[in-house]
Amino acid sequence: MVYKYDFLIIGAGVAGMSYALKVARAHKGKICMICKTSLDEANTSFAQGGVASVTNLAVDNFEKHIEDTMIAGDYISDRAAVEQVVRQAPGQIEELVNWGVNFDRKEDGQFDLHREGGHSEFRILHHADDTGAEIQRGLMEAVRNCPDIEVKENHFAVEIITQHHLGVRVTRRSPNIRCYGAYVLNPQEKVDTYLAKVTVLCTGGCGAVYLTTSNPVIATGDGIAMAYRAKATVADMEFVQFHPTVLHNPKETHPAYLITEAMRGYGGILKLPNGETFMEKYDERLSLAPRDIVARAIDKEMKIHGLDHVCLDVTHKPADETRHHFPNIYQKCLSIGIDITTDYIPVRPAAHYMCGGIKVDLNGQSSIEGLYALGECSCTGLHGGNRLASNSLIEAVVYADTAAKDSLKHVDLYDWNTQVPEWNDEGTMTNEEKVLITQSVKEVNQIMANYVGIVRSDLRLHRAWDRLDMLYEETERLFKRVHATRDICELRNIINVAYLITRWALERKECRGLHFTTDYPLHAYDK
């Protein structure tokens, strides 16, 4: 089947839904938003902390938020992007509230603001500890009430369409690459052609590339991989943020259950399973050291002792207090036989957030004409070498706004390209052996966890490169032989993204932001 839309939005988290709602207001054409599973399954639903925005001008101001973001990003951030997000954040918070998203308020009606690591002021708007779920709920309701947005669940974008599909040779140096829409796998496992004047990638992160991640299974980096294959520019892929403590439970790795940093704030102590403490070797702030230092320390101890986890100990705290402060964590651990008032909590770091992605300008426009990228799959330059806590949800809404304005200006200049051929799967067959895919996914996860994790070295990165190369060749051969299915497409994408992370990591010859390598221990400024 061939479909025609003015706006094709791929992804329905905070980025995709905000963009859809903003564009729909203009009544300027047909809008289709697809997502690969159900509308509620997105990274957005998992966000706990909140949304950063300067709202209390009595003590806070834009300059402070800008400086905090630049420091967190290790001065790799693009100042123009930082200024745009910080200055437009309060207006976009208002937009979220008008769409029906609730943030906690104090008795006087002011927002109840939290403060998180790296922020010099209290500026985190939140909804209890499930802000992401509230944002996803509010936006889903607004989208469902908007007759101008056609939502298609269980539709999987396979490939971005460009001149390449018309038989033109497209390279990374080709000028004027143009996006004509996307090939999309429907629930009956047939690939349809979606012609679009404007295509917007809002496909989220890529935590599923790693063995353990706080991200849901959908986070396979599809948008980044599709854009890269279509020869779009990507950037900053070496900057993967790891959360230091998720619950170590081999049965639950995508997503792994997050053990909040507040537990260490409460007095939780990191220990080896034999009870020895280790943080004194790494930082005088011990278990309260910043996120990346703790993650690196745990990673090192796990490697030294050959462990698959370390432990967080709160057994010295009063049991009633622990149950009162952390009812969800208490119940979750109990469900797998761990009573945190008497037992250590097994924890390990996990891939959490991708700072890099598809390079975009201040309007969310990628290097390919007619193709925008928003949210975690994009690289706006805001995060630079490291993301400041709670800066990502707001980035998605701010860029949804600038992209909506820009694409509405340009949509009339474009037309559908009806020369685009339909998906050709002639001569392909059903893949009878799922193991060819599941085993390769496991291999990619292992390679990335062991060789391209928190602490890197050239030796390990080269090993990863060689192994990924073999998996890439095997998978491309298989992809040409079998019908397109979600699992083989996701495998292609995680291999692609794993390769990008590895290559970017090899190219950065310094320790900077989230990138830490034993071969180049100095920061560029210290050389």
Ligand X SMILES: Cc1cc2nc3c(=O)[nH]c(=O)nc-3n(C[C@H](O)[C@H](O)[C@H](O)COP(=O)(O)OP(=O)(O)OC[C@H]3O[C@@H](n4cnc5c(N)ncnc54)[C@H](O)[C@@H]3O)c2cc1C
| Catalytic residue annotation | 291
Q: 190 in the Ramachandran plot: left (φ > 0), alpha (ψ -120 to 50) or beta?
A: beta
Judged by CB, which is closer to ligand X: 445, or 517? 445
SS3 annotation, 474-527: HHHHHHHHECCCHHHHHHHHHHHHHHHHHHHHHHCCCCECCEEECCCCCCHHHC
The verdict on 73 binding ligand X (CB under 6 A) reads no
Question: Is residue 366 close enough to count as binding ligand X by CB under 6 A?
Answer: no
Examine residue 390 and tell whether it contacts ligand X (CB under 6 A). yes
Q: Is 218 in the site for ligand X (CB under 6 A)?
A: yes
3-class SS at 198?
Answer: strand
> Using CA atoms, how far apart are residues 405 and 401, in angstroms rounded to an integer?
6
Told to check if 186 binds ligand X by CB under 6 A, we report no
Nearer to ligand X, 10 or 464 (CB): 10
Q: Which of 271, 259, 258, 345 is nearest to 305 (CA)?
A: 271
- Comparing C-alpha atoms, which of 369, 407, 360, 418 is closest to residue 176? 369
Task: By CB under 6 A, tell whether 244 contacts ligand X.
Answer: no
Please give the DSSP secondary-structure letter assigned to residue 373. E
- C-beta closer to ligand X: residue 160 or 468: 160
CB of 204 to ligand X, least distance (A): 2
By CB under 6 A, tell whether 357 contacts ligand X: no
Residue 134 has which token pair? Answer: 């509230």
Question: Is 271 in contact with 277 (CB distance < 8 Å)?
Answer: yes
Could you give the C-alpha distances from 313 to 50, 212, 265, 343, 345, in angstroms and in order?
Answer: 26, 21, 12, 7, 6
Binders of ligand X among residues 326 to 355 (CB under 6 A) are: 353
What x/- string results for residues 137 through 166 when contact with ligand X is judged by CB under 6 A?
A: -------------------xx---------
Q: Does 89 bind ligand X (CB under 6 A)?
A: no
Beta carbon nearer to ligand X, 17 or 468: 17
d(CA 364, CA 358): 9
Q: Residue 204, interface with ligand X (CB under 6 A)?
A: yes
Nearer to ligand X, 140 or 177 (CB): 140
Is residue 16 involved in binding ligand X (CB under 6 A)? Answer: yes
3-class SS shares of the chain: helix, strand, coil, % to 5:
40, 20, 45
Stretch that binds ligand X, among 45-53, 260-268, 316-324, 467-475 (CB under 6 A): 45-53
- Which residues of this protein are in contact with ligand X, per CB under 6 A? 10-16, 34-37, 42-44, 46-51, 131-132, 156-157, 202-205, 214-215, 218, 222, 258, 353, 375-376, 390-393, 396
